[in-house]
Amino acid sequence: MTKFAAFLFVIVTLAASLPARADPAFDVFLQSLWPEAEAQGIARPTFDAAVRALEPDLSLPDLVIPGRPDTQPGQAEFVLAPADYLKESSFQRLAAQGKKLAAQHRATLAGIEEKFGVPAQIVLAIWGRETAFGGYELPKDAIRTLATQAYLGRRKDVFRAELLAALKMLEDGIPRAKMRSSWGGAMGLTQFLPSEFSKYGVDFDGDGKIDLWNSVPDALASAANQLAGKGWQRGKTWATEVRTPGAIDCTIADPDNIRPVGEWLKVGYAPTHGGIMSDAQLAEPASLLMPAGIYGPSFLILKNYHVIKDYNFSDLYVLFVGHLSDRIAGDGPFKVAWQPVMQLQTRQLEDMQRRLAALGLYQDKIDGKAGMRTRLALGAYQKANGLKRDCWPTADALADMQRRSAP
């Protein structure tokens, strides 16, 4: 019995040390990708090595897992309130570091701006926001992350394409060990998705390879190339913080409500930085942004704002990058304070979006994010029902919708 007990102990210990069995359905999903991978020039050995023994990473945010409540944390840009995301202490720290790096890489940054038209402070701000100037170590394996998102994520089709692009990177010689990523599969110092790597990656240091992980010139030039490819306007800014003319209707903060900057100023919107704008600046088309509804600063946003938003689809992300770039260039803090407001959970915002869509006020995707369109639709709902018009999704606003639709 003693020998048998010892044998059982060894077996149990070995079993505990082995990895858990992969989800069979996940294996089937991965193998279903082979025809598409082959069509994109990925060799079978590369494909097999990448997916062998791969298991889904269920710790990732934005997954839809059968039988599990939606309690996972989401992307910071969409789950944190503006005051928590746009902290002055973060700007002070990153701006000080960014100024030092601007001096250290002056020649490289000047070459990038000359070639792509994107100012040094913008690409530095992206680097600072994405990886704290390289100080943040990306925690995930890109292949496992993208495969999980393609299998269980809210945007399966998007991540399926990104997974195939990542496999192509392996085929083209990028080592798997180098491909560490965020929860969304973005990689390198400036966080490139695999599909963007193939489109916009630049060998700016001239060593014959594109290295977004270790080469600052390559990473910053690639970020600039991406912004330029998405329509960055050379010599123009991204936004201007403005003081609003007293109590205003927040539903005019509509990205489709575009007027020349000069017209906004004529009706009482005043740049907080003061100074005199040129005729060209006054003629630029702009819309009003109130990212926290009435509970924070307001901005006249320009074409370049939307270009940065194409890099990361979050108003708070754009505000962070844009404001950090201004701080690196020498500007001061936001002039209007961010008031403390609560951010609803993803499932609550999805409920609100569905209700607003059913009323014909919201025509965008149900994504659980308090973006421009959601805030605008909520403001229209508040306006139609005689509620306080603040254009910020709260539990009280959702409760009002639920009460009015109850049988």
pLDDT band at residue 407 under the 50/70/90 scheme: confident
Q: What is the pLDDT of residue 14?
A: 32
Asked whether residue 349 carries a pLDDT value surpassing 60, the answer given is: yes
Q: What is the pLDDT of residue 400?
A: 96
Rounded mean pLDDT, 291-301: 96
Q: Per-residue pLDDT tens for 364-396?
A: 989 888 889 999 999 999 999 999 999 999 999
Q: What is the pLDDT of residue 16?
A: 40
Residue 328 structure tokens = 């690196």
Rounded to two decimals, what is the model's pTM? Answer: 0.89
| Cβ 304 vs Cβ 232: under 8 Å | yes
Q: Per-residue pLDDT tens for 253-265?
A: 999 999 999 999 9
Q: Per-residue pLDDT tens for 69-98?
A: 654 555 555 567 899 999 999 999 999 999
Rounded mean pLDDT, 225-242: 97
Q: What is the pLDDT of residue 17?
A: 39
C-alpha–C-alpha distance, residues 216 and 151, integer Å: 33
| Cβ 296 vs Cβ 343: under 8 Å | no
With a CB cutoff of 8 Å and minimum separation 6, the contacts of 379 are 249, 250, 251, 253, 293, 389, 390, 391
Mean pLDDT of the chain: 91
Q: What is the pLDDT of residue 70?
A: 56
C-alpha–C-alpha distance, residues 109 and 203, integer Å: 14
Nearest to 63 by CA among 139, 148, 180: 148
Q: Per-residue pLDDT tens for 322-339?
A: 999 999 999 999 999 999
The crossing angle, in degrees rounded to 10, of helices 142-152 and 156-171 is: 150
pLDDT band at residue 19 under the 50/70/90 scheme: very low
Q: Is 227 exposed, middle or buried (CB count within 10 Å of its CB: 0-12, 13-18, 19+)?
A: buried
Residue 389 structure tokens = 């018009």
Q: What is the pLDDT of residue 88?
A: 96
